Amino acid sequence: MLRLSVILLALLFGSAAVAEELGDDGLHKAPWMRDTFKDLAEDLAEASGEGKRLLLLFEQRGCVYCTRMHEEVFPDPDVTRTITDSYFVVQLNLYGNTEVIDFDGETLSEKAVARKWGILFTPSMMFMPESVPQGRSASEAAVAVMPGAFGRGTTLDLLTWVAQKRYLLDTDEDFQRYHARRIRERNDVSTD
């Protein structure tokens, strides 16, 4: 009985150690997030230098959907691997005061840039192209935006779709069709 209790406690505390901590700003802090000066042109250049895509992740203190993503979706090994291998993630606070320098050169607080870009939900993921034309804002240049929390499959599919630059392919398979195909493929594999 004592041995079972020790194992259960180890599992309990072991899983708690995996959970991401909250920063002083009340936002989840994942090991794959980058702490930058939030100069988006510099962040994009650094991401490109590492062969990664810039991903802007908006969250807010007390966001139950952000917590769900950090507890149920982001820890999935396939999701974590895709983020780590393919993305340079910069976290932004929907109500934060830290200055952000947009690609168009405008400097605004995080909360003002969220309003400028029309970010209404947290979490929201904004995927940047490999280069941004001069004078364009992040919202004008984004190749995809995922507003809100989604499950593991949808999140993984969007991360993969953007990383593979499928939005540039001259096919009829937009993200919705790609995602539907991936769902069918996962269902076919799981029924075998």
Average pLDDT for runs of 10 along the chain of length 192: 42 46 95 98 98 98 97 97 98 98 98 98 97 96 96 97 93 92 86 46
Residue 92's beta-bridge partner residues?
58
Q: Which pair of structure tokens corresponds to residue 185?
A: 């493929």
Pick the closest to residue 125 from 151, 153, 104, 147 (CA basis): 147
Helix axes 77-86, 152-163, angle to 10 degrees: 20
Please state whether the predicted TM-score (pTM) of the whole model is above 0.75. Answer: yes
The whole-number pLDDT of residue 190 equals 59
CA–CA separation, 101 vs 118, rounded Å? 16
Residue 172 has a pLDDT of 85
pLDDT at 171 (0 to 100) = 83
